[in-house]
Structures are given as C-alpha cells and as structure tokens.
Copies of this chain bind each other. A is one copy, B any other.
Amino acid sequence: MTANPEIFGTPRNTATISYGDLAELLATIFRHAGASPAVASLLAANCAGCERDGATSHGVFRIPGYLASIASGWVDARAEPRIESAEGAVVRVDAMNGFAQPALELVTPILIEKAANDGIALLSIRNSHHFSALWPDVEPLAEAGLLALTMVNSFACTVPFNGHSPVFGTNPIAFAAPRADAPPLVADLATSAMANGDVQIAFREGRSLPPGHGVDSAGRPTTDPAAVLNGGALLPFGGYKGSTISMMIEIFGAALTGGKFSFEVDWSTHSGAQTPHTGQVLIVISPDFGRRDSSFGRRVNGLVEQLRMSGVSRLPGDRRQVTRRRSLRDGIVMPLQQLEDLRRRADGV
C-alpha cells in the first residue's frame, strides 16, 4: 500500500464539474491507461459517483492507485468476467483478474431474476479486485426493491484481536434496505478501525490518527499515519467483536467464493499494485417474498423514525444523500489543481 500524495497538491482554488463530465473525463483516463471501454465506463461512473457523494476517500483520490495497479500488470482492466455457474439461487463468477464491478454489472439482471423467483440469491465473485467503496454495489439493488448485503476482504493490513501480525484486510461490509417513498437506507463500514483510504488522506493532510486505530511495523500502537502505511497495520474496530466480524468476512469473501484470503494477497512482484485481489459475496433478498403484505419498506421507515426520535441526527448514508443532491444541482466541487491534473491526464499530457 503506497499513498500518492505527490499527485495532488494542497487545495487553493476550487472548480466545479458536473457528474456526467467528471465520469467522462475519468473514463477517458481509464481508457488511456489501457482499460476496455466497458471497464473504463464502469470504473469512471463508480469513482465519479463517490466524488459526487462526498465519499472522497474512494473518489478521484483513488485514480493514481487505479492507474498504478493497471500499469503494473497486477489487474487486468480489459478482463471480461465469466459466469462459472448459475444453478439454483447461486451465481458464481470468475472476474478473470479484473475488477469486481464488471462482474456485478454482468450478473445483476440474473440476480434480480433469481431473487424474484426464489426470494433470495447469492452472488459469489472470485479472482476479482475491489478498490472502491461497497455502498455503490448495494444501493442500486435496494433501489430495485431488494435487501442487499455484501462483504469483501482485501489485503493483510489489520491485526486480529490478540494477534501480533496482520491477517485481515480492512474487510468492509455494506447493506442497503429499500424504504417506502424514500431513498434506500445504505450503510458501508470497514471492519478495521478505519479505512485505508482515510489513513492515506490523514497522511496527505498531515493529520494524526485517533488512538487505538493502528500499530507501527513493530506492532506498537501509533497515531502516525505514515507508520501505519509503512509496514504498520490497522486494528479491528470494536476489539474482539469487530475482529470476529472481520473473520466472518474472510470466510464469506474468500473461502466461500474461491477467492484469496487477505493474507494470501502477494503483490510484491508487481511494483505499484494497490488493488486487493480477492473475492466478493453479495446476498440479495426480495424482502416481501412469501408474505401476504408488502410492508418491508414502511417498516424500515418506522425504524428510521424511531432512531431520529432517539436523537440520532445522522443515519448511515444521510451525508452522501445531501452531498449528492448538492452536487447534482451545483456541480461537484473539487480543488482546481486536482481537476487540472485530471484534464492533463485525459489529454494524455
């Protein structure tokens, strides 16, 4: 894992760009980097969507990492995912050493059909790279009326509770639940105490990490993001319990899919590689299947209302929704220099 603080300088002036223009710009950059048009479009839409929603740790900030990984030959940005089996309620896909998103895109219609017919469906992706947030994978499924849960393991950067060396990745889990007459409730959380992207941003911005989030290369607690990035490691969130959930994500993301465990990811032969090469699992549920009523969306609203009444002012995804509406209305605000860098890259300069 290498941060790329040299690419983007300190913001002085800002500029705005529409979501569509940013996605087009990024697609051009991905194509220049060797991605197939289909993969370039998908990654660009995903990355521009993160930037649009204020999820900057998975937005344009990630472009150098994507490009370095592609350039290193570690990930195949021209890969065409292959369906290995689609029996019963299970779809198994080999991402062919490409990104996970094209695999998900390929089988989403099958998943939706299976969930409609059987009530539940499982998507298992192996031989895949995931370098973005997880919420973009589940939100569209919830917008299609499905309850969706996904887990992905990454690369060994998190020391298990009571262990002394990294075994787990940041191992995020995300879920999205449809609501009645409202955007879905969407949550996405790393099971490490913080996300790698946030460590990289803290490093770039010269900020310390909160205590209890990381260790240095000797396993000693540290608040220095550079020490975590240079041979150190993260800790799981929530001690023993968070560590147990991270272990579950290794089992679902790797043992179940046939992908690599986080500790098996070895990119030492590919200088610049940054995209974890593992697996991903999605469970998709038709929430009112087998019931006489179709109350699920209203029931989720009831929970949301109770949480608001309890004083919870911000639910998972709230900030993204607000930022998305503002970005779609006023354009995405970015540091001018960052946007100019992107334009130079797109022009092949």
Spell out A's residues near B (CB within 8 Å): 84-92, 117-122, 124, 147, 149, 159-167, 173, 175, 177, 185, 187, 189, 191, 237-242, 244-245, 247-248, 250-252, 254-256, 258, 261, 263, 283, 285, 287, 289-291, 295-296, 299-300, 302-303, 306-307, 309-314, 316
Contact = CB atoms under 8 A, between A and B. Distances in A.
B85 A255 contact: no
A278 to B, nearest CB: 12
A237 B166 CA distance: 22
B164 A85 contact: no
Contacts of A240: 189
Contact of A89 (B86, B119, B191, B242): B119
A101 B120 CA distance: 23
Nearest to A121: B120
Considering the complex of A and B, which 8 residue pairs feature the smallest CB-CB distances, nearest first?
A238-B238, A90-B119, A88-B118, A85-B290, A163-B310, A255-B299, A89-B118, A164-B311
A303 B161 CA distance: 14
A347 to B, nearest CB: 41
Interface of A, secondary structure class, is mixed
Contacts of A160: 307, 310, 312
A120 B296 contact: no
A206 B244 CA distance: 29
A175 B119 CA distance: 21
Given A120-B120, A159-B310, A255-B303, 7 more contacts: A118-B118, A119-B122, A162-B312, A166-B310, A189-B244, A258-B291, A261-B299
Contacts of A167: 303, 306-307, 310, 312
Given A244-B187, A290-B87, A303 B261 contact: yes
Given A162-B312, A163-B311, A164-B311, A255 B300 contact: yes
B90 A118 contact: yes
Contacts of A303: 167, 247, 250-251, 254-255, 261
A87 B248 contact: no
